[in-house]
């Protein structure tokens, strides 16, 4: 990959851009734009900002991400989570909707952009390695549930307060069942049915665009807006003009903590969404490049009177479902939004909110990944538990806390496992030079006086006590006297100073009881560590043993105590 392609990933996909992609990208970009316009306005209102700010945030930032980001499907723009965080941060500082409040939001975008760009440049994107697959899957399913259910109010045509508690939403919906809007439900039901059927029967059609256009025309033709169907209504016209945000240094200090939180949460949400879609299409997301792309998008939002943006969940799903193949779809979205701001705001007047809710719901509910839970039930119960923990945590505590819980529990579980590694007593597979676990291979031969152990772990301070106990207990369990313990070191990947000391101690204390400790198949880095500590010569035997077999042969030809009678091969069945 050339430097230019690394810095500006757009040069790669633009050079190889095929005509066939264009139709898909335009359709997806258009569909996403059709969702983005009312959503951007709604999320801006959620953030306490005038609706137009949400549209401004959906222009230049999207183009900047399309040029610098590494995802093909990610739909950047205003999102619910970040909008909520903005509202929480700014409400104590100024009156919602005031010029001062809007100014703060712009400064927040500037700070978020600067932080993300800096993180990308120091390559801090490796942090998302700790978002394991089970954690991303659990969080995705939970977020899909929360976002999907948040659209219930638009489908039913009733007021339901925003919440991430599923039961709160469901109870509120039940309480309001008497107030539901029949025409609204009809539009929602028809839209969902159409989306599901079109997906199965005609997956290549721009189904979101079709239902959006169809229902808008129906609302206009039958005058449904007068019959209680909620519509998007008036959208103000005109493009944002570039300007540098002005602020006092005190503002920066006040907004910095929130900016850090939005930077991290926005990045994590965005990159996990991007990863989820990239893994379906088997390409890689480069986290540091994502940080650069999102950082520049936020700086763009700051210059073009927007507010903090990130890669959104539901629109990315719609964008991908609508067939987005390259970031060109994003550029199309931005151009459509800009065109709309200039000329077409009237067209969205009769667009019913219920159809947007249907699009979001069918998109995100497809992301609830029950198959992954079933798969992990078979493959890895611990990872399944981590998935369910993240899911439950996100539903009960919110998205940030849910992700935090999942990552924390994953790391804790990883560390706990390293403290009690798997270990095996080895025997020689007859007729080979391979040594395997005698419990799995009862036919494996053992040799009188020799105990061969394999401990599947990097040796470090966290498992030193366990390892010492294990060697001691394994020795005690032997029915025959043992003169040599061979440790298969091919599975020892590292050795810190605590473990180094422990190996030396073990060798010495075994020697005192007349048992020699040999390490066979020691790897380079471990050998270096042992040599530096001056232990290597004690545990390498007369010459470094390349393998367990090598060590066993060495003992056979020159037995340690001259006790030749001990050295006939003894086949002992492990059962």
Residues that bind a second copy (CB under 8 A): 126, 129-135, 279, 282, 284, 375-376, 378-380, 382-383, 410-411, 414-415, 417-419, 421-422, 424, 429, 432-434, 436-437, 440, 454, 456-458, 460-466, 468, 490-491, 493-494, 496-498, 500-501, 505, 508-509, 521, 523-525, 529, 532-533, 546-547, 550
Residues in the chain: 575
Tokens of 161: 């307060």
Identity of the residue, 104 or 435, whose beta carbon is nearer to a second copy in the bound complex: 435
Q: Is residue 495 left, alpha or beta, with left meaning phi > 0 and alpha meaning psi from -120 to 50?
A: beta
Tokens of 196: 């599901």
> ∠ CA 170-175-177 to the nearest 5 degrees?
95
In whole angstroms, how far apart are CA 74 and each of 55, 182, 277, 398?
Answer: 18, 35, 8, 22
Q: How far apart are CA 201 and CA 212, in angstroms?
A: 18
Minimum distance from residue 457 beta carbon to a second copy (Å): 6
Task: Provide CB contacts within 8 A for 197, sequence distance 6+.
Answer: none
Minimum distance from residue 77 beta carbon to a second copy (Å): 27
Identity of the residue, 72 or 454, whose beta carbon is nearer to a second copy in the bound complex: 454
Identity of the residue, 255 or 457, whose beta carbon is nearer to a second copy in the bound complex: 457
Give the DSSP H/E element, type plus range, for residue 425: strand 423-428
Minimum distance from residue 511 beta carbon to a second copy (Å): 12
Minimum distance from residue 28 beta carbon to a second copy (Å): 25
Task: Provide CB contacts within 8 A for 200, sequence distance 6+.
Answer: none
Identity of the residue, 168 or 509, whose beta carbon is nearer to a second copy in the bound complex: 509
Residue with the two structure tokens 């036919």: 443
Q: Is 384 helix (H, G, I), strand (E, B) or coil?
A: helix
> ∠ CA 181-196-374 to the nearest 5 degrees?
110
Identity of the residue, 338 or 387, whose beta carbon is nearer to a second copy in the bound complex: 387
Identity of the residue, 18 or 512, whose beta carbon is nearer to a second copy in the bound complex: 512
Minimum distance from residue 382 beta carbon to a second copy (Å): 8
Identity of the residue, 360 or 409, whose beta carbon is nearer to a second copy in the bound complex: 409
Q: Is 449 helix (H, G, I), strand (E, B) or coil?
A: coil
Q: How far apart are CA 255 and CA 92, in angstroms?
A: 11
Minimum distance from residue 446 beta carbon to a second copy (Å): 17
Identity of the residue, 111 or 495, whose beta carbon is nearer to a second copy in the bound complex: 495
**Each residue of 515-547: b (16+ CB within 10 Å) or e?**
bbbbbbbbeeebbebbeeeebbebbbbeebbeb
Minimum distance from residue 525 beta carbon to a second copy (Å): 5
Identity of the residue, 163 or 437, whose beta carbon is nearer to a second copy in the bound complex: 437
Minimum distance from residue 137 beta carbon to a second copy (Å): 10
Minimum distance from residue 13 beta carbon to a second copy (Å): 19
CA atoms within 13 A on the CB side of 54: 27
């Amino acid at each position: 990959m050339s430097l230019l392609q690394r810095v500006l990933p757009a040069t790669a996909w633009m050079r190889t851009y095929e005509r066939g992609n264009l139709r898909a990208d335009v359709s997806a970009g258009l569909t996403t734009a059709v969702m983005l316009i009312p959503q951007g306005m709604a999320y801006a209102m959620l953030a306490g900002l005038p609706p137009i700010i949400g549209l401004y945030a959906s222009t230049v930032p999207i183009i900047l991400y399309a040029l610098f980001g590494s995802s093909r499907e990610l739909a950047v723009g205003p999102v619910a989570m970040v909008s909520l965080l903005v509202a929480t941060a700014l409400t104590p500082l100024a009156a919602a909707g005031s010029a001062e409040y809007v100014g703060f939001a712009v400064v927040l975008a500037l700070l978020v952009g600067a932080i993300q760009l800096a993180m990308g440049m120091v390559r801090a994107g490796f942090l998302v390695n700790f978002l394991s697959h089970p954690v991303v899957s659990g969080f995705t399913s939970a977020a899909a549930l929360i976002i999907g259910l948040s659209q219930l109010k638009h489908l039913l045509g009733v007021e339901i307060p925003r919440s991430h508690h599923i039961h709160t939403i469901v109870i509120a919906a039940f309480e309001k069942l008497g107030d539901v809007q029949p025409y609204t439900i009809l539009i929602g039901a028809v839209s969902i049915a159409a989306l599901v059927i079109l997906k199965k029967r005609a997956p290549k059609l721009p189904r979101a665009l079709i239902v959006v256009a169809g229902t808008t025309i129906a609302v206009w033709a039958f005058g449904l807006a007068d019959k209680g169907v909620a519509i998007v209504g008036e959208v103000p016209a005109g493009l944002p003009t570039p300007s540098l945000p002005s602020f006092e240094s005190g503002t920066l200090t006040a907004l910095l903590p929130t900016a850090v939180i939005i930077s991290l949460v926005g990045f994590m949400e965005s990159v996990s969404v991007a990863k989820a879609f990239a893994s379906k299409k088997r390409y890689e997301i480069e986290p540091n490049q994502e940080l650069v792309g999102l950082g520049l998008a936020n700086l763009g939002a700051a210059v073009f009177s927007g507010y903090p943006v990130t890669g959104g969940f539901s629109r990315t799903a719609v964008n991908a479902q609508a067939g987005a193949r390259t970031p060109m779809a994003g550029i199309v979205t931005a151009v459509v939004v800009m065109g709309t701001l200039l000329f077409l705001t009237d067209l969205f007047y009769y667009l019913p909110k219920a159809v947007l809710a249907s699009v979001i719901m069918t998109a995100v509910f497809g992301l609830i990944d029950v198959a992954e839970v079933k798969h992990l039930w078979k493959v890895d119960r611990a990872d399944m538990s981590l998935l369910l923990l993240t899911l439950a945590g996100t539903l009960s505590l919110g998205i940030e806390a849910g992700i935090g819980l999942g990552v924390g529990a994953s790391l804790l579980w990883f560390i706990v496992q390293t403290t009690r590694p798997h270990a095996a007593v080895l025997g020689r597979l007859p007729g080979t030079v391979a040594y395997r676990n005698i419990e799995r291979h009862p036919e494996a031969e053992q040799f009188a006086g020799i105990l061969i152990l394999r401990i599947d772990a990097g040796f470090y301070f966290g498992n030193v006590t366990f390892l010492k106990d294990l060697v001691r207990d394994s020795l005690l369990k032997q029915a025959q006297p043992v003169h040599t313990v061979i440790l298969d070191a091919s599975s020892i990947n590292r050795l810190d100073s605590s473990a180094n000391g422990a190996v030396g101690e073990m060798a010495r204390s075994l020697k005192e009881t007349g048992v020699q400790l040999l390490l066979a198949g020691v790897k380079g880095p471990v050998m270096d560590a042992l040599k530096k500590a001056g232990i290597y010569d004690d545990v390498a035997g007369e010459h470094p043993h390349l393998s367990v077999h090598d060590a066993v042969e060495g003992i056979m030809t020159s037995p340690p105590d001259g006790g030749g009678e001990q050295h006939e091969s003894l086949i002992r069945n492990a059962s």
